Chains A and B, each alone.
Chain A
Amino acid sequence: MVGWVVNRLGLDDMMEDQHNRVVPRHATNYVYCFGGIAFVLFLILAATGVMLAVYYQPTPDTAYQSVLNISTHVEFGWWIRSIHRWSAGAMVLLVFVHMLRVFFTGAYKAPRELNWLTGVVLFVITLGFGFTGYLLPWDQKAYWATKVGTDIAGSVPWVGHFLLVSLRGGDQISAATLGRFFDLHVLVLPAIIVLFLLGHFWMIRRQGISGRL
């Protein structure tokens, strides 16, 4: 049956194309793995995030209780939540280290400037995931981190106040803030990051891995 599906979709040609691509010898090195590890972490975060959303409730009355419920009552809930939490921190780190590798090997130079730019956007989206996800447990740390973070957005000249009320859904942190951050974390940012990841990977295929130092 596997053969039937492969045949109908022409997957064997596609796989052959993938297998025939040669990885340059200088790129068979652990420092060239950071981007791939970051992507694996993204997949883990997507899977565990979908699972956490089964029990998480984004309302001020129930958010904290629902997170406690996941950690203490749901079987393996502590495990899934811990994987999500630790992978989130690791992904920010790995994306940054990947960026350092690209910078110090000069891989951002022509013709790969556009891929560097999509990478910068991906880094900012990753930070956005971290910032919005931090509020969701709705504990004291979440509240004050979001207060400080949105205050910083509010200090931008001219558009600061607009940014602040757009993020908070009002002048103060409230139920509206939690709703907006949840929306960003599980709907908006995932959609954007998938688009940029596709662009990022397509350009790697198109432009190839950069030459040796």
Chain B
Amino acid sequence: MTRASFLKWLIGSVAAIFVAGIMYPVLRFLKPPAALSGAIGQVVNIGPLSGFAAGRLTAVAVNGQPAAVQSLDGKYAVYSLICTHLGCVVEIAGDAFRCPCHGSDFSPTGAVTRGPATLPLPTYHSQTHSGSLLVGPIDLSRAAYPGWYKGEFS
């Protein structure tokens, strides 16, 4: 390889990396977000029941939204991991929940055990079907939840 061809190859490679670095966010940008395609509330199969260990919370994604599956005594509940206070993503802390943003704590049933949140974590409508867990929209009847659970942007 001559010096000239090596330099050409080098410049071409750097240019390719540069273009790829710009095109990656651009292509991700063009992909329609889940909320726009009306996916919020759509019933989805989030996997076989064997994937959810008994007595534990398993983090999953429901239509792109963070959620956790709770498996207790053969019953399954799906909690939204979006804090009812200001919409941060709540962390799973053992068998309960804690919000890293402002320190709200939620019990294993989603009830508030420490503020500033005032509303319990919402649950999704869910049911088992031939060994899998189907998840539908959020159960909005439990409390007067903020709009971000309904696909509103504020």
Residues of A within 8 A of B (CB): 51, 54-55, 65, 68-69, 72-77, 79-80
Contacts and interface: CB of A to CB of B under 8 A. Distances in A.
Given A65-B153, A68-B153, A69-B153, A75 B36 contact: no
Contacts of B31: 75
A69 B33 CA distance: 9
B154 A68 contact: yes
18 contacts: A51-B26, A51-B29, A54-B29, A54-B30, A55-B36, A65-B153, A68-B154, A69-B153, A73-B35, A73-B36, A73-B153, A74-B33, A75-B31, A75-B33, A76-B25, A76-B28, A77-B29, A79-B25
Interface residues on B, range: 10 to 19
Interface residue SS majority, chain A: helix
Contacts, number: 35
A69 B30 contact: no
A117 B44 CA distance: 62
Given A69-B35, A77-B29, A80-B25, 16 more contacts: A51-B26, A54-B30, A55-B36, A69-B36, A74-B29, A74-B33, A75-B25, A75-B29, A75-B31, A76-B25, A76-B26, A76-B28, A76-B29, A77-B33, A79-B25, A80-B29
